[in-house]
């Protein structure tokens, strides 16, 4: 079964957001079929750091990408999500 790797740039709502707590919240809010491959951090400006989340989902899951993005958008500490890459693995 093939998987799809999606990389998102996630901007926290404020510079005071604890990125470790945000990572844990993202892991809990993901749909059951999605899994975190890894996180990276990217400094933006003035103390703001973006999370780069690499998430895998099954290729055969209809609407999986939409559900994944909705679950991320529902997290209060996230202000913006940008899709960087979608790749079949």
Instruction: Copy the structure tokens of residue 33.
Output: 């079929």
Between helix 19-29 and helix 64-73 the angle, nearest 10°, is 140
Sign of the CA dihedral running 37, 27, 53, 20: negative
Instruction: Copy the structure tokens of residue 77.
Output: 């500490």
Instruction: Dump pLDDT digits (tens) for 37-52.
Output: 999 999 998 889 999 9
Query: Model pTM?
Result: 0.92
Instruction: Dump pLDDT digits (tens) for 18-29.
Output: 999 999 999 999
Phi then psi for residue 2, to 5 deg, are -75, 155
For the chain, the domains span 3-88
Q: What count of other Cβ atoms lies within 10 Å of the Cβ of residue 83?
A: 11
Residue range 3-88, CATH number: 3.30.70.60
């Amino acid at each position: 079964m093939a998987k799809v790797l999606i990389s998102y740039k996630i901007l926290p709502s404020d510079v005071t957001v604890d990125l470790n707590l945000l990572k844990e919240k993202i892991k809990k809010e993901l749909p059951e079929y999605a899994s975190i491959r890894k996180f990276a951090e990217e400094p933006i400006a003035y103390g703001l750091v973006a999370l780069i989340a690499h998430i895998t989902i099954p290729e055969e899951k209809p609407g999986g990408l939409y559900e994944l993005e909705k679950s991320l958008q529902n997290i209060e500490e996230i202000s913006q999500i940008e899709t960087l890459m979608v790749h079949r693995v």
